[in-house]
Structure 1
Amino acid sequence: MLTVNDMVLTRMGLRFAGRCWPCVIGKGDVTVDKREGDGATPAGVHRIVGMLYRPDRIARPTDWAVPIGPSDLWSDDATHEDYNLLVRAPYAWSHERLRRGDRLYDLVILTDWNWPRAERGRGSAIFLHRWRRPGFPTEGCVAFRSNHLNQIATRITLGTRLIVPEALGK
């Protein structure tokens, strides 16, 4: 059963808060069998579990948003016990920098995809974040225009659901 606070991915964009927000998804389209490195956005119901932001670039979007620090990383090493978790540098295993030189991760909304107890190889974090440009796919995340992402961030709560219908898959 859909609720008023649900975000629903469609081929036209993300339906949420009475409008359809343009977005891009993973270069591997939507899949029911998500794997690390496949570039796909996983079908399913994913809850919002956190929000990170760059305090040196943007104002805190909500009272529950957590600042991204210079040493913050996200582990994407399926062989390590910290797989799909926030970790801090120095970190010798495969990871993604959260404090990037570009602006893609100035605001990151975290979903519960394969979290908090990650199944190795099922794919690490699915974030909502800023897009590079319209039509340019992600590695599996859902991405938006900067101002749209900021507006979405102020309207969601912990537990808001991101619904990615299986029917969107190839």
Structure 2
Amino acid sequence: MTPLDLVVTPRGTRFLGRYFPCTIGRGGIVPAAAKREGDGATPAGVHRIVGMLYRPDRLAHLPDWALPIGPSDLWSDDSADPDYNLMARAPHRFSHEKLRRADPLYDLVLITDWNWPHAEPGRGSAIFLHAWRRPGYPTAGCVAFAPQNLRWIAQRIRPQTRLIVKA
């Protein structure tokens, strides 16, 4: 492990000598081989941070490698889509998530390399780090933080920082 690794532990996520409360998927942590689309689980393993997205109308002063989320930006979660587990643009005929949401959950999103960039259909899409709804409220498989903690982390990570989720 390196100092820039984010390590999910039973106490929360450890990063740069600090612990941050976090929530994980409603399906708990599962071995990577068992992860399936829609199971609500967070896959165990080592996942690289490969991107950062943000709402420019709500946030500023992010690292220069962060990309703005536009009104038509989507994330494909449909195994039949040739763009499965990739960013897409509206209109999009396959199942997807809107990245520009009315709530603040995706105001700042760190993208992991789970099942990316060459997605295997059905293995699950979009393991993001994002803001939580509230403490203890599970995600659909992502790792979620208090918004201020997510911003603190985002200011200090680098591309290829690793998210380590232990089973």
Q: How far apart, CA to CA, are the structure 1 residues paired with 2:15 and 2:53?
A: 20
Paired positions, count: 165
1:64 aligns with 2:65: yes
Aligned to 2:53: 52
1:116 aligns with 2:110: no
Deviation at 1:28, TM superposition (A): 0.2
TM superposition score normalised by structure 2? 0.98
Aligned to 2:25: 26
1:126 aligns with 2:99: no
CA offset digits 1:25-84 (Å, max 9, x no partner): 000000011100000000010000000000001114111000000000000001111100
Pairing 1:72-151 to 2, within 5 Å after superposition: 72-151=73-152
Could you tell me which runs of 5 or more consecutive residues in structure 2 were left unpaired when the two chains were aligned: none
Query: Aligned with 1:148: secondary structure?
Result: helix
Q: How far apart, CA to CA, are the structure 2 residues paired with 1:71 and 1:43?
A: 31
Give percent identity, aligned residues only: 67
Query: Aligned with 1:61: secondary structure?
Result: coil
Q: How far apart, CA to CA, are the structure 2 residues paired with 1:88 and 1:45?
A: 29
CA offset digits 1:70-129 (Å, max 9, x no partner): 000000001111100000000011000000010000000000000000000000010000
Matching residue's letter, 1:153: A
Q: How far apart, CA to CA, are the structure 2 residues paired with 1:79 and 1:87?
A: 14
Matching residue's letter, 1:28: G
Q: How far apart, CA to CA, are the structure 2 residues paired with 1:153 and 1:42?
A: 21
Aligned to 1:8: 7
Matching residue's letter, 1:64: W
Q: How far apart, CA to CA, are the structure 2 residues paired with 1:29 and 1:17?
A: 25
Deviation at 1:14, TM superposition (A): 0.2
Could you tell me which runs of 5 or more consecutive residues in structure 1 were left unpaired when the two chains were aligned: none
TM superposition score normalised by structure 1? 0.96
Q: How far apart, CA to CA, are the structure 2 residues paired with 1:110 and 1:6?
A: 14
Q: How far apart, CA to CA, are the structure 2 residues paired with 1:43 and 1:81?
A: 26
Q: How far apart, CA to CA, are the structure 1 residues paired with 2:3 and 2:109?
A: 22
